[in-house]
Structure 1
Amino acid sequence: MATSPVGQITRGTTNTNRLRRVDRWIARHRALRTAPVDPLVVDLGYGASGVTALELHARLARLRPDVTVLGLEIDPARVARATAQLADVREGRTDFSPDARVSFARGGFELPAPRRPTVVRAFNVLRQYGESDVPAAWDRMASRLAPGGILVEGTCDEIGRVSAWVEVGADAAPRSLTVSLHLASLQQPSIAAERLPKALIHRNVPGEGVHALLSELDARWHQAAVVSPFGAVHRWRTTMAAMTDAGWSLGPSARWRLGELTVPWAAVAPR
């Protein structure tokens, strides 16, 4: 017997290129690169348009041509709209590949899918929930992952210049927090506080790890203003170097040029 999707309908805000930052992070993640043949990636809560699922496939297929993307939404009208968009793709009326391995279906946190996904991307989905709802949502989604799979749950602004997400393993345990910022328009790194995942957004207060991270980022960014004439990327790299010298683990330095840093979950876990 069919069951109703688990979860609440989101606001449905969707913009082209909005999720580019997290997409390129997923594309390089070991979970996808080393997955067995035909990995499935789920775009949960894609919103009013199916464009984010189509963009996700286009970006991932450059490294994994055998990847399949399934977009899931609770609202049947959104599924119908995305399916109509996909028909245009199949007819060659868009910039996406007509044979893109993308489909759309109705579903929520229960993740109805033909097989266990290697990656679940749930972006801007949990913002309307309470902080206490997060562990159960993570647990339900993580329980559907393929061995070695990951849940990527996070938030971004409307045009994708400020993003933050948590990597969660198949055991439903959070592993890391990643912050990704558009450097050319960046005033100060703590702008990320507005887009922290639900598990952390209320924790940006003194005494919490994420507050310590954002506060020190701001301080080091302002100190690095002296190198601003060399460009925003150089200023960010200088900031990252100073943070590292202060004892922070910030992920691969090759990612810093993208305005990105990744810290272990233990550094920001709610206290």
Structure 2
Amino acid sequence: MRPARPGRPGRPVGAVTRGTTGHNRLRRCDRWIAAVYGPLLRSGRAGTAPPLVVDLGYGASHVTTTELFTRLRRVCPVVEVVGVEIDPERVAAAKPYEREGLSFVRGGFELPVPRPPLIVRAFNVLRQYGEDEAWAHWDLLRAGLHPSGVVVEGTCSEIGHRATWVALGAEGPRTLTFAARFTGFGRPSDLAERLPKTLIHRNVPGQPVHAFLADWDRAWATCAPFGAYGARQRWIKAAELVARDWPVETLPPTGGPGRWRLGELTLPWSGVSPVGSSGGW
């Protein structure tokens, strides 16, 4: 692994993003975090401080951070959420929306929060960086986590109908999740445009993620007759088919029909880990 590049003392690590955001853009990821890591948040209640979640790089509006806070409070009523943004004007604009348990601060990948967070959501913040920089920022984020924590790093389309994200623990990447609105794609490989930075340039022959997407497309085509019962049933059947040859998660909380019916599919990172990457996994 390449070492994470530190910023200047007292200066946030990272660069300002375009800041594009909007209501419900990240709801697919929020739903997944609440279902998969809700137990982690509730387990954090036994400590002296409430469980902490960071929304890194929330953009020009506070809205997706506020939505994350609202959704996580349903599964853990004492969770605290901090929106971290490198642009001071965006932080100032979000400050009026603070409330008990929800706050906004200026910062970057160094995570300027009072204690190690259990969860960091970092969406649409790494696409502007080179691949080596993305690996380094993964390392920096993992270094700031609670020992039991997780980073959920990904990217999505402008209105959130196509998304992918990686879950990273202190030990490294754990899973890769694809999520889509059933009317938002023609075939599963359309989601490749939203792959995380560490994979998007690896979608070429000879790389596992390319082979997986090709097989998933074939499964989708084979299961076309199930489309008569709706795209949801076709997605579920295609997931069952591709799971015969790939280590698709088939059990809760990350897999199985309960997640597939929502337009999700998750694999362990080991199934798509890039060949010849500089990340070391």
Normalised TM-score (structure 2): 0.88
Contact kept in structure 2, 1:240 and 1:250, CA below 8 Å? no
Distance 2:67 2:44 in 1: 20
Which of these residues, 6, 16, 20, is aligned with residue 13 of structure 1? 20
- The alpha carbon displacement at 1:145 in A equals 0.8
| Alignment partners' CA distance in 2, 1:69 and 1:50 | 12
Q: Quote the residue 1:265 is aligned against.
A: 269
Between 1:130-139 and 1:155-164, the stretch displaced more is 130-139
Deviation by residue 1:168-197 (Cα, 9 ceiling, x = unmatched)? 1123x1111111111133311111110000
1:121 corresponding residue in structure 2: 121
- 1:129-187 per-position Cα deviation (integer Å, ceiling 9, x unaligned): 0001122111111111112100111100000110101111123x111111111113331
The alignment of Structure 1 onto Structure 2 pairs a total of residues equal to 258
Letter of the 2:86 counterpart: I
Amino acid at match of 1:44: L
Does the 8 A contact of 2:185 with 2:191 survive in 1? no
* SS of residue matched to 1:42: strand
Shift of 1:2: 6.8
Whole-Å separation in 1 of the counterparts to 2:100 and 2:68? 11
Q: Distance in 1 between matches of 2:44 and 2:32?
A: 15
Out of 24, 31, 45, the residue aligned to residue 24 of structure 1 is 31
**1:91 matched to which residue of 2?**
none
Whether 1:47 and 2:51 are equivalent positions in the alignment is no
The alpha-carbon distance between structure 1 residues 203 and 77, as it changes in their structure 2 partners (threshold 3 A), is same
Q: CA deviation at 1:248?
A: 3.2
The 4+ residue runs of structure 1 with deviation greater than 6 A are none
Structure 2 residue 254 is the aligned partner of structure 1 residue 242: no
Give the match's secondary structure for 1:129.
Answer: coil
Equivalent position SS for 1:117? coil
Alpha-carbon distance in 1 for matches of 2:184, 2:138: 32
Q: Percent identity?
A: 52
Contact 1:26/1:32 (8 A) holds in 2 = no
**SS at 1:12's partner residue?**
coil
| RMSD after superposition | 1.5
For 1:16 and 1:203, the matched residues in 2 are separated by 31
Q: Is the 8 A contact 2:212 2:246 kept in 1?
A: no
Q: Give the SS at the match of 1:220.
A: helix
- The CA distance in 2 between the partners of 1:9 and 1:240, in whole Å, is 38
Point out the more displaced range, 21-30 or 49-58: 21-30
Pairing of 1:1-271 with structure 2 (within 5 A) = 3-30=10-37, 31-37=40-46, 38-84=50-96, 86=97, 99=99, 101-171=101-171, 173-251=172-250, 252-253=255-256, 254-271=258-275
Contact 1:47–1:73 under 8 Å retained in 2: yes
Shift of 1:241: 1.1
- Answer with 218-227 or 102-111: which moved more: 218-227
> Which shows bigger deviation, 119-128 or 29-38?
29-38
Q: 1:201-241 CA deviation, whole Å, 9 max, x = no partner?
A: 00100111110111111111111111111001100111011
Q: 1:33 to 1:259 in 2, by over 3 A?
A: farther
Aligned to 1:95: none
CA distance in 2 between counterparts of 1:127 and 1:179 reads 17
| Per-residue Cα deviation, 1:66-105 (whole angstroms, up to 9, x for no partner) | 1111000111000011113x06xxxxxxxxxxx5521000
Partner of 2:30, secondary structure, is: helix
Residue matched to 1:93: none
Does the CA-based 8 Å contact 1:57-1:100 persist in structure 2? no
CA distance in 2, matches of 1:146, 1:167: 14
On the 8 A contact 2:123/2:155 being kept in 1, the answer is yes
- For the Cα contact (< 8 Å) 2:161–2:181, is it kept in 1? yes
Greater alpha carbon shift after TM alignment, 180-189 vs 232-241: 180-189
Contact 2:164 2:176 in 1 (8 A): yes
Please tell me the residue identity of whatever aligns with 2:70: A
